[in-house]
Structure 1
Amino acid sequence: MTVLLRGASPLPDASPDRPCVTELRLSAFAGHRGVTVPLAPFTVLTGPSGSGKTSALRALGALARLSGGAELAEVFPDPRGHVPERARPDAQQRRGFRIGCTVAGPAGPVRLDLAVQAEPELRIVGERLTGPGITYLETALRDPGRRDVQAAWHTAGSVPVTRAPLPDDLLGTALLPLRVSGRTEGQRRVLAAAEQTVVGLRSAFACDPDPARMRAPVPVRADRLLGGCDNLAAVLHRTRAECGTRHALLVAAARAGLAAPVVDVLTEPAADGAVRAVVERGAGLRTPVERLADGELRYLALALVLLTGPRVLAVDAAAEVPEAYQTLTVLADGFDRGLDPAQGAALTELAARMCARGHIRLVAAVGEGSGADRAARAHGAAVVDLKP
């Protein structure tokens, strides 16, 4: 697998002090071996079918969920599917996969690398959290009969390294704020690195709108947008009432991507406290969204994602960290799926504007030859070509 970075002038990072993921490493994951994917404020993954665009997004989403405290089995319900096909078991019949990332922020670049055993049982067998010239945390499986790993983290006090067991089904980096007191300068550096990594990873929203699930009315209280955008109507009901400015931007985007005319995008009551989304056409004419084409529905849902934030999207943001110090990362699989060229161009332009403002970071997978990569590059996106 090779990676080609295309795009001469990518968007500048508008928020250098906010922790953000700048690199994804797929050392041995699914079809990837030794692959490093640089991540800019707006990154587009392209390549032929089977080149691993979806698996790259899944790896980044998995790291985000682990940083939020999710258990390994919850994040990888089918771990064997992520083991490289040609990986051979060792003498103990063990096989696994390795992923990692780099998170930039006030503590400098911090690298997280994770080794996961998928067979014969799922467990974390190694984790490293490092910075330039320093190892903040290192874990290793010492005794296969025990359900923990041996961890060592930097102390730089009377004892240079602290050692203790950590669970083998949770990310050790996410546990450090609970284990490290912060009494020494070394411990404070460890805490800063761990917190930067967790904050940079946690605010991730994996999104792939499914038109088949977006047409039915939904309960009005289901107003945090799901990854499949099933509850589009309830979220529209909420955002239209909460922020007129962003709703006006959504209506402007709808005019660019839906069949004309578009006066407003709103909701109306359905049975039993549910709402349905409708497009206001003017002169009293409304089109329920169930009548929209699949491409129109995907376009509308993705525009809504780009114009909202972590309080509206169903993301596991770090509640203890002010929103101003977090960066929402949207992981959009099939970003151009079902869209015509005009819709793709309008959505790409909207994405570039939001990313340039620092409102979000976007990692989007697009089909090879669709033209979406060229449109993204024209708007300053970093285009990463995954070649099998």
Structure 2
Amino acid sequence: MTALRPETFPLPPAGPTAQDGTSPDARTRVHPAGPVVTELRLSAFASHRGAAFPIGPVTLFGGPGGSGKSSALRAYEALARLGGGDPLDEVFPDPAACVPEGAAADAQGRRGFRIGCTADGPAGPVRLDVAVQAEPTLRIVGERLTGGGETLLTTALRDPGRATVQAAWHTAGAVPVTRAPLPDDRLGTALLPLRVAGRTEGQLRVLAAAEQMVVALRSVFACEPQPQRMRAPVPAGDGRLRRGCDNLAAVLERTHTQCAQRHARLVAAAHAGCAGTVTALGVERLPDGSLRGVLGRGGGRATPAGRLGDGELRYLALALVLLTGPGVLAVDAAGEVPSAMQTLTVLADGLDRDLDGRQLRELLSLALSIGAAGHLRLVGTVSEPGAVRARETPGVTLVDLGL
């Protein structure tokens, strides 16, 4: 099949480009339950050019401010949202900020960026590369899905006056390639299961690759605990943890009543990472019906969670995220795939923010322990990669952007 080339911002060539991290063999130690992203590519995105990063069971991007660690997570989350079917303008509300600094516009005033990833699973390694025009109009101008040495899907902008791209996908039947227009504000890979009949061997390969990529991308929870919003009481009944973890107390009530084993592990984690003795975690129902978290201290003593320091609240929220799953987290997992065949990826920008070394060590140990079953992966950023390297934590892939 001859690949269609985008009109602008050409996609990088297919092929292995992974850069090894601190623990390049970490990815082989855990067998994921379902498809997972194993490489993130930032061909031209923000401060990154020609970059490819390994993604293991626990991956940490480290480096000083401005090194691009947060933008790497931003690109990962953007791919996840596109894989979930979100429109382009919602995924990139400020697309100009994603264009590499110093990138000049072409004769038509067009500038853009390129991102991509590789997802491993039953269909083998599948690569997705996306070229996005940021100016003058936000649109996807090129996309390529490859697997098994074949180009399975390409899209290209053929008529700038139309809000579509020309797509071509592998058929391997009487007609070797199927061509059709697709909207330029949606990821074509996410639309393929609705467009491909699955009658020929080639169509089945396309569907398997597209579904693998979509499942790997959709099972993502971006977590940004906000301690200042976690101190106030919250309404009862809001039992799905939100991105900012501000409804922590309501989720604690749910885990206490519905997830006894995991709640016990959360109590143990709180004891390991919070000051003083922690014997229980629960909630107190206030006269107005709202809830606030409470830490049991033994001997009948208790501490309202709102009195904890920022680091302790962030630690507690992150431990809760690692110990729960899609049924408790506000994540758009692939509903048509059984949870036992999915692997949740937690994105945590500023993982070590306000945490001391002991708390970070406990969280990494918890992530590795929970992830050993293949149902959880953690991708985060840290400001002090040297501290992580000094601990020599086996199984952690450290990508030091400051080197």
Q: What SS is found at the alignment partner of 1:173?
A: helix
CA shift, 1:283, in A, is: 2.2
Query: Which residue is equivalent to 1:321?
Result: 337
User: Is 1:286 the counterpart of 2:302 in the alignment?
Assistant: yes
Counterpart amino acid of residue 229 in structure 1: C
Query: Which residue is equivalent to 2:183?
Result: 167
Query: Which residue is equivalent to 1:22?
Result: 38
Query: Which residue is equivalent to 2:312?
Result: 296
Counterpart amino acid of residue 221 in structure 1: G
Aligned length: 386
Query: Which residue is equivalent to 1:76?
Result: 92
Distance 1:59 1:274, change over 3 A: same
Q: What SS is found at the alignment partner of 2:153?
A: strand
CA RMSD of aligned residues (A): 1.5
CA shift, 1:141, in A, is: 0.4
Distance 1:288 1:17, change over 3 A: closer
Query: Which residue is equivalent to 1:124?
Result: 140
Distance 1:12 1:34, change over 3 A: same
CA shift, 1:5, in A, is: 1.7
Give the Cα separation in 1 of the matches to 2:28 and 2:170: 33
User: Is 1:255 the counterpart of 2:271 in the alignment?
Assistant: yes
Give the Cα separation in 1 of the matches to 2:23 and 2:129: 27
CA shift, 1:346, in A, is: 1.5
User: Is 1:332 the counterpart of 2:348 in the alignment?
Assistant: yes
**What is the aligned counterpart of 1:347 among 358, 363, 378?**
363
**What is the aligned counterpart of 1:178 among 194, 215, 219?**
194
Query: Which residue is equivalent to 1:59?
Result: 75
User: Is 1:187 the counterpart of 2:203 in the alignment?
Assistant: yes
Counterpart amino acid of residue 310 in structure 2: D
Unaligned runs of 5+ in 1: none
Distance 1:355 1:373, change over 3 A: farther
Give the Cα separation in 2 of the matches to 1:231 and 1:67: 27
CA shift, 1:14, in A, is: 2.7
Give the Cα separation in 2 of the matches to 1:374 and 1:326: 33
**What is the aligned counterpart of 1:136 among 152, 168, 172?**
152
User: Is 1:378 the counterpart of 2:393 in the alignment?
Assistant: yes
Counterpart amino acid of residue 46 in structure 1: G
The answer to whether the 8 A contact 2:117-2:129 is kept is yes
- After superposition, give the CA deviation of every residue in 1:330-375 in whole Å (9 maximum; x if it has no partner): 0111111111122122122111211222230111111125613433
**What is the aligned counterpart of 1:95 among 111, 114, 135?**
111
Distance 1:13 1:103, change over 3 A: farther
- After superposition, give the CA deviation of every residue in 1:198-228 in whole Å (9 maximum; x if it has no partner): 0011010111211011111111222111111
Q: What SS is found at the alignment partner of 1:219?
A: coil
User: Is 1:357 the counterpart of 2:388 in the alignment?
Assistant: no
Query: Which residue is equivalent to 1:213?
Result: 229
**What is the aligned counterpart of 1:368 among 384, 390, 402?**
384
Q: What is the TM-score when the length of structure 2 is the normalising length?
A: 0.93
Distance 1:264 1:78, change over 3 A: same
Give the Cα separation in 1 of the matches to 2:21 and 2:212: 26
Distance 1:34 1:266, change over 3 A: same
**What is the aligned counterpart of 2:289 among 273, 277, 283?**
273
Unaligned runs of 5+ in 2: 1-17
The answer to whether the 8 A contact 1:3-1:387 is kept is no
The answer to whether the 8 A contact 1:4-1:385 is kept is no
The answer to whether the 8 A contact 1:181-1:187 is kept is yes
Distance 1:43 1:125, change over 3 A: same
CA shift, 1:384, in A, is: 1.0
Give the Cα separation in 2 of the matches to 1:9 and 1:158: 43
Q: What is the TM-score when the length of structure 1 is the normalising length?
A: 0.96
CA shift, 1:181, in A, is: 0.5
Give the Cα separation in 2 of the matches to 1:118 and 1:203: 26
Give the Cα separation in 1 of the matches to 2:47 and 2:295: 42
The answer to whether the 8 A contact 1:3-1:386 is kept is no
Distance 1:3 1:100, change over 3 A: same
Identity %: 65
Query: Which residue is equivalent to 2:402?
Result: 387
CA shift, 1:260, in A, is: 1.2
Give the Cα separation in 1 of the matches to 2:158 and 2:373: 47
CA shift, 1:7, in A, is: 2.7
Distance 1:290 1:13, change over 3 A: same
Query: Which residue is equivalent to 2:258?
Result: 242
